[in-house]
Amino acid sequence: MSSHLYLTGMVLSAMPVGEYDKRISLLTRERGKVSGFVRGARRANNHMIAAANPFVFGRFEAYEGRNSYTFSKAEVENYFESISTDLSNVYYGSYFLEMAEYYGRENLDESERLKLLYQSLRALGSGKFSSELVKIVYELRTMFINGEYPNVYSCKTCGKKQEIGYFSIKEHSVFCREHAEGKDTVRLSDSVLYAMQFIMGTPIEKLYTFKLTPEAEKELSDIVTRYRKKYHGHEYKSEAMLSDSLLSDKPLI
């Protein structure tokens, strides 16, 4: 006995199974992260051939079996071709998908994570923002969604909200000058402190409305990367590929 339902979400990964099928993982509005089979998705002319691929966002018709779902139809809303047809965007986008797959959970409300993923891929594909900035915003907001993020709004000791540009990775918090004394802190510029507050405090739909100077972007990237590596130590395969591609002087294609 299986029940029939509709799920709206994005394909995070797709793997070939058997001769003609695929197994896909989806981040959905209704059920969090789910996975299941798409029968015949690798047959020529199959109606699911284009839908059963990473970055595809749409409404999927599914049957819920005892252990897994079967996806039978899809109304695709966005293929994100601006991502899948540009190799640099594929590297960044794959990293976003892998992080969503790592943290996404079944039967939990993952609608904020889905929204963040969708808006970040849009920002990446728009070409209006540096890919590194989109990556930092995505990472920091993901930490916020996960509930493990630094306090950037007030001094951890006295609660002061002004002149608090001293950040301690160890203490997960900013401090005022007085209370930063004796602690291992990094001095944050005003624009970086403000950017961190904005990234965690703004509705996701409005996240991609700011830019930073290259210097501020580098400063923000360094601090977010150090924080993430210390507390969110998972190593992503796609991030290693991303670093290799950035280090290489050769063109990506």
Q: Give the footprint of Zn ion on this chain (CB under 5 A).
A: 155, 157-158, 160, 176, 179
Distance CA 176, CA 161 (A): 8
119 vs 173 by CB, closer to Zn ion: 173
What's the CA angle centered on 203, arms 166 and 208, to 5 degrees?
80
Amino acid type, 177 = R
Distance CA 4, CA 13 (A): 22
Distance CA 173, CA 64 (A): 44
* Closest CB 156 distance from Zn ion, rounded Å: 7
161 vs 206 by CB, closer to Zn ion: 161
* Closest CB 224 distance from Zn ion, rounded Å: 23
13 vs 168 by CB, closer to Zn ion: 168
* Closest CB 159 distance from Zn ion, rounded Å: 7
* Closest CB 169 distance from Zn ion, rounded Å: 17
User: Residues with Cβ < 8 Å from 239, sequence gap 6 or more?
Assistant: 95, 98
* Closest CB 164 distance from Zn ion, rounded Å: 7
Q: Give the strand order in the sheet containing 186-187.
A: 173-175, 166-168, 186-187
155 vs 200 by CB, closer to Zn ion: 155
Distance CA 160, CA 96 (A): 35
37 vs 167 by CB, closer to Zn ion: 167
8 vs 157 by CB, closer to Zn ion: 157
Q: How many CB atoms lie within 10 A of CB 241?
A: 14
Distance CA 55, CA 89 (A): 11
* Closest CB 185 distance from Zn ion, rounded Å: 12
Give the CA count within 13 Å in the CB-facing half-sphere of 131: 16
